[in-house]
Chain A
């Protein structure tokens, strides 16, 4: 998938969980990615984060470390 599309999708997820209460938003983003993103997609995300994670929501970057 194109990096732009991946970033868009991941940031959408972060935007939702940021709006939820509690202080475990990153964990919940990570849980959502584990539950619904196929390993290839999570791998692509992790690689992208390793290369700097440009344009990614900070919550996604934090979540990706838990994957």
Chain B
């Protein structure tokens, strides 16, 4: 494969872009026209002129401190800084003459007088703007030298020339696992401080002291980078013009010489990155400024946590075993594939066509996912295909399908820049979707208001320069009651956008809905007792959302993973329709997808009832499209969903599973039931990077490839199809799409794909919403959002602009039904689960990176009142028990959770939080009710018996016999 040649303008324009009426001016005799509000520096860059600069960069606002970018402007006195001077009509600017050169050299000379001249051995050599600027201004000589007797201070020598310790010297801070802070190289340009503030919104960095004493600081005197508020997003490292903030990987590996643009494989934001390499050695991942989801920003996972690709635990050879009690045996690919194919076919002969199935992965590409569901439908001859979206966003599919007509977020991420009131419900973006959170916080700092609906006091409720207007701390399981109460206030107080409803929605359905929701049983006063949300707060929040301008709703798994998950999604859609918040920038219904390709996995027909493009298998005209192309007949009946597969396995009618890129044992609820289902199967094929927990029950292990090792596409939460590009050769030998193809062909298929682009051609040819998508278009545009077809050849940033996909929007009756998971004397607390910034999902990737320094184990958050009555102190081992099972972990006392509610994460297999979660699920989709489990918490001596037994089983199941010579 050729390298991806970046057709985009990669230059640093110096200051951020502006939108406004064009202003014409002349710079060095060149006429240029730029939007009003642009800086002279940016206008010069547009004209192709680089004005020397140090403190300016186009990701943060101009600061005007370095004085290197001075220019002359006709009719104005002095030499203004071009970065802070806005353009004016008819302006005549000179960026080069003797006076300016002299000034710049003088500035540069002063900078260099306090900077070490170790350029040849410096990690930033070749990537240093200070070095570049010294060259650009023609600095040839530094007149200022420290006298031999000492006395002249610098920041970069540990001792002065007289041998005295230099009080201005601060040693390098190497506490962060991914980057170093070397104060001796700092020129105090404040770019890092501004990036932390403006881009990331964490405010971890500051400038401490004045004048010569000015230093970049991680907050309190005692704080180093790791102990501070720093979230390790890398924004400061990105903007640092010198080696002051420097990736450790670059210190170790040298300056990269080539780059490939690709897409992050973590959360559903789908950030674009430049993978920077030497040969096939990845040196660093740098957020790509033209990435339309992330606009040049990143988080600790995408930016730094890619080391798992080379982790020693990664399995690179296929393995098989007769029984799951045997040790693994390394074999060649042919043998492993043959073994799997023979077993699956034998099972089908003995137990029927429908006795085997597949699970596709939201961590794999669209092309891979498409092939895995095709394997089920065309080769197995059944619809037993499901995806991990089953356990996260399947209610989004059902709920938005019923109300709007399709399963997708309505906006792009840029939309948040136009939002006036945001509702965040059941999501914790600063941890789960950090780059989106940064973009939201940026808008909040400029005046948008926020309503948080969450049982926990998440960071967005109150953190640096962000405070929610309302936090509605509801009891887990009462989402529908709270959303209905919001709608009740909007309808009964006359805040409905009548014009929108009449024009865009089914009016009869609306009238019925209005009658239903106006009933006093939905009033905030009536629901307060069961939701725990104060009626006055809820009324105020409803009024704010209905009358505060553009209203956008962002939601996560705290909405979907409930018995009423689908109903809650409908209630969200109702709220958006009632307030007319659909179809323009700044509004909409926005599911925050957990994994990178949840949207894509759903689009690609992973669900057992749908062919690609959300078309039910019962529709013969849809089946015919594939039947003609694939030369098979497609089963018109829906297949088994993941929980149904496990039930059928326990019942004895489901015997074989091909599971790609998923760890259902750790991630699915009611671990013991999952284990029983897997143990009952006779052929479990795990296709993954590592021997995950599911692999403890597997007969075949097919080593997978990482996102760095293959071509394909991911579709993020805004329906954006982004390219994944092969950065290095797969260590395991094959891309995952090739492995699925080998298995299909061993079972009699005749697939001949030689590149994922051909798979995308097949997707486009068969799926109307993807009809216009091909790799050439993605090369040209960078990315497109579906629908992308004849009526939207460049994709669709906003959905339902003139009408809903289904025609008229449909308001649905959303009666609150309490979950059957109730607290009682045995289990008096409610457990809810979530994730943390540094870890991702089951942790298979992030636990194998230095990210563990931030989160080495799952802990149980418990309110101090609940802890006190149980005699629990901070850090104690506690047992958490539900009707499903029990596990043990350490307690953390915090009032982020309300009394009666406890919270933990599920990143670590040693904890196995899902031993505790139950088999209750969403009524429509079987999405598990992870977010509500009645539990008891008590002191414990350490890990539970189950944990110890499981650890023992896992160790035995992971034994590998070396291949025979």
Contact = CB atoms under 8 A, between A and B. Distances in A.
Interface in A1-60: 1-2, 5, 8-9, 12-13, 15-16, 19-21, 32, 34-41
Q: How large is the interface on B (under 10, 10 to 19, 20 to 34, 35 or more residues)?
A: 20 to 34
A15 B921 contact: no
Nearest to A19: B815
Nearest to A37: B638
Contacts of A38: 354, 384, 608, 637-641, 644, 648
B356 to A, nearest CB: 13
Contact of B651 (A1, A16, A37): A1
A21 B921 CA distance: 24
Per DSSP, chain A at the interface is: helix
A12 B651 contact: no
Contacts of B923: 9, 12-13, 15-16
A59 to B, nearest CB: 13
B866 interface: no
Contacts of B650: 1
Contacts of B921: 9
Interface in B286-317: none
B512 A35 contact: no
Nearest to B637: A39
A8 B638 contact: no
A8 B640 contact: no
B609 A36 contact: yes
A40 B653 contact: yes
A12 B924 CA distance: 8
A8 B920 CA distance: 8
A52 to B, nearest CB: 20
B242 interface: no
Contacts of B232: none
Contacts of B813: 19-21
Given A8-B820, A19-B813, A38-B608, A13 B640 contact: no
B618 interface: yes
A41 B644 contact: yes
A13 B564 CA distance: 10
B889 to A, nearest CB: 28
Contacts of A5: 647, 919
Contacts of B563: 12
B924 A16 contact: yes
B820 A9 contact: no
A27 to B, nearest CB: 15
B926 interface: yes
B925 interface: yes
Nearest to A41: B644
B609 A35 contact: yes
A31 B12 CA distance: 58
B343 interface: no
Given A15-B817, A19-B815, A36-B609, A9 B512 contact: no
A9 B639 contact: no
Interface in B813-862: 813-815, 817, 820
A16 B395 CA distance: 14
A3 to B, nearest CB: 11
Contacts of B640: 38, 40
Given A1-B647, A21-B512, A41-B644, A36 B925 contact: yes
Contacts of A20: 812-813
Contacts of A16: 567, 815, 817, 923-924
A34 B919 CA distance: 22
Contacts of A2: 647
Contacts of B567: 16
Contacts of A21: 512, 813
B543 interface: no
Contacts of A8: 820, 920
15 contacts: A2-B647, A8-B920, A9-B921, A13-B924, A15-B817, A16-B815, A16-B923, A19-B813, A21-B512, A35-B618, A35-B638, A38-B384, A38-B608, A38-B639, A38-B644
Interface of B: 354, 384, 512, 563, 567, 608-609, 616, 618, 637-641, 644, 647-648, 650-651, 653, 812-815, 817, 820, 919-921, 923-926
Top 8 nearest A-B pairs (CB, nearest first) are A12-B923, A1-B647, A19-B815, A38-B640, A39-B637, A21-B512, A16-B923, A19-B813
Given A1-B647, A13-B923, A38-B384, 19 more contacts: A1-B648, A5-B647, A8-B820, A8-B920, A9-B921, A12-B817, A16-B923, A16-B924, A19-B813, A19-B814, A20-B813, A32-B924, A36-B641, A38-B354, A38-B637, A38-B638, A38-B639, A40-B354, A40-B653
